[in-house]
Amino acid sequence: MKKSVLSTAFLVVMAAQSANAVTLYGKANVALQQVDEAGDSEIELISNSSRIGLMGDGAVSDNVLVLYRFEYETSVDDGENSGQTLTQRNIYLGVQTQYGTLMGGVFDTPLKTAASPVDLFNDLEGDIRNIFAGEIRAKNIVQYVTPKSFGAVTGKIAYITKEVDGIDGVSASIAYSDGPIYLAAAMDQDVEDNVANTDTYRVIGAYTLGDLQIGGAYEKYDNEQGDGDGYFASVQWDITDQWVFKTQYGQSDIKVEGRESFSIGGDYKFTKAIKAFGYFTQNEDDLVRDDDYLGVGMEIKF
Each residue's pLDDT tens digit, 78-96: 877 777 778 999 999 999 9
Each residue's pLDDT tens digit, 211-240: 999 999 999 999 877 789 999 999 999 999
Q: Write the single-letter amino acid at 123.
A: D
| Closest-CA residue to 208 (of 236, 247, 185, 233) | 236
Domain hosting 230: range is 2-301
pLDDT over 60 at 206, yes or no: yes
Phi, psi for 111 (deg, rounded to 5)? -65, -40
- Rounded-to-integer distance, Cα 200 and Cα 189, Å: 7
Q: What pLDDT, on a 0 to 100 scale, did the predictor assign at position 9?
A: 46
Distances (CA, A) of 254 to 108, 132, 134, 137, 222: 20, 6, 10, 19, 9
- Rounded-to-integer distance, Cα 73 and Cα 10, Å: 17
Task: Compute the average pLDDT of residues 181-189.
Answer: 97
- Rounded-to-integer distance, Cα 199 and Cα 77, Å: 37
Task: Look at residue 237 and give its three-state secondary structure.
Answer: strand
Q: What pLDDT, on a 0 to 100 scale, did the predictor assign at position 82?
A: 72
Lowest mean pLDDT: which of 5-19, 98-112, 200-214? Answer: 5-19
pLDDT over 90 at 163, yes or no: no
Extended strands (E) in the chain: 21-37, 40-47, 51-61, 64-73, 87-97, 100-108, 137-145, 153-160, 169-178, 181-189, 199-209, 212-223, 226-238, 243-252, 259-269, 274-284, 290-301
**CATH code of the domain covering residue 131:** 2.40.160.10
Give the DSSP per-residue string, 111-164.
HHHHTGGG-TTTTSTT-GGGT-S---EEEEEEEEE--GGGTTEEEEEEEE---S
| Closest-CA residue to 202 (of 106, 121, 108, 110) | 110
Tell me which of 11 and 294 has the higher pLDDT. Answer: 294
281 and 293 Cβ atoms separated by less than 8 Å: yes
Each residue's pLDDT tens digit, 239-271: 999 999 999 999 999 988 889 999 999 999 999
Tell me which of 77 and 23 has the higher pLDDT. Answer: 23
Quote the number of domains for the chain: 1
- Binned at pLDDT 50, 70 and 90, residue 165 comes out as low
